[in-house]
């Protein structure tokens, strides 16, 4: 799956930001700020953002940790990272970016206060291994934060599923030229464990003393927070 996912993100990378903004109506900005708040990051913290893409979450973290803090953004798709350094520099933010796989991070144990991944863990080959690997590079008592789509219920859930299956592929395909990518992304969201089921994956990882799920926008997304043992 990794090779296919890398190729897919490579193809949509040039139009990823504008497409994400259109499809989410800008709500993703609020979700990222919530993830940073729940991470416990503060002035001077060291943060690793996995599957950073074009660096949006890494930049929110950098604003939080300030000049004395350090933020590293990694992604296994070089094309997704291409625009990230200039994007951060334009915002006046010093963020380090490098190509790395979230399943095999090139960092020593206990290197960071916080590790995060936004809308990326459902695309890795082994989510539990990813949760273990992220915990490995975080100091004991630090936090791993996962922002991921959920599966809302009720009337809102029905509307969300219609939007995801019908509207999102059409708009995403029009903006990027790759409709298949925007059929794949909602499909993986619908099939990926959410809420208590994802918390169970965190428990299975065996790396967290505390685990919590925070629903956002009627369960459309979740922020999962694990405190590293």
Q: Which residues are annotated as a binding site for S-adenosyl-L-methionine?
A: 54, 75, 101-102
Record the tokens describing residue 98, joined without a space.
């490098």
Q: 31 near 221, Cβ under 8 Å?
A: yes
Q: Which residues are annotated as a binding site?
A: 54, 75, 101-102
**Cβ partners under 8 Å of residue 186, min gap 6:** 164, 165, 168, 169
Residues 135 and 55: their CA atoms lie apart, in Å, by: 21
| Strand residue runs (E) in the chain | 46-50, 70-75, 96-99, 112-118, 138-149, 208-216, 221-228
The sign of the CA dihedral 203, 207, 127, 45 is positive
Q: 188 near 122, Cβ under 8 Å?
A: yes
**Which residue in 104, 106, 33, 43 sits closest to 72, CA to CA?**
106
**Cβ partners under 8 Å of residue 85, min gap 6:** 55, 95, 97
Residues 13 and 79: their CA atoms lie apart, in Å, by: 6
């Amino acid at each position: 799956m990794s090779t296919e996912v890398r190729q897919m993100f490579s193809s949509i990378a040039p139009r990823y930001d504008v497409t994400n903004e259109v499809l989410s109506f800008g709500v993703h900005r609020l979700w990222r700020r919530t993830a940073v708040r729940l991470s416990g990051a503060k002035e001077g913290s060291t943060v690793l953002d996995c599957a950073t893409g074009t660096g949006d979450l890494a930049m929110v973290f950098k604003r939080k940790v300030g000049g004395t803090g350090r933020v590293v953004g990694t992604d296994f798709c070089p094309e997704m990272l291409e625009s990230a350094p200039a994007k951060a520099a334009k915002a006046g933010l010093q963020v380090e970016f490098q190509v790395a796989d979230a399943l095999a991070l090139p960092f020593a144990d206990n290197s960071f206060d916080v590790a995060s991944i936004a809308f990326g863990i459902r695309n890795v080959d082994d989510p539990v291994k990813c949760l273990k690997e992220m915990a490995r590079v975080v100091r004991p008592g630090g936090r791993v934060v996962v922002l991921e789509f959920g599966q809302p219920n009720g009337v809102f859930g029905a509307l969300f599923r219609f939007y995801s299956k019908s509207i999102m592929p059409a708009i995403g395909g029009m903006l990027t030229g790759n409709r298949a990518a925007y059929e794949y992304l909602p499909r993986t969201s619908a099939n990926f464990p959410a809420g208590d089921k994802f918390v169970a994956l965190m428990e299975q990882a065996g790396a967290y003393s505390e685990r919590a799920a925070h629903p956002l926008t009627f369960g459309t997304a979740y922020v999962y927070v694990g405190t590293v043992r």
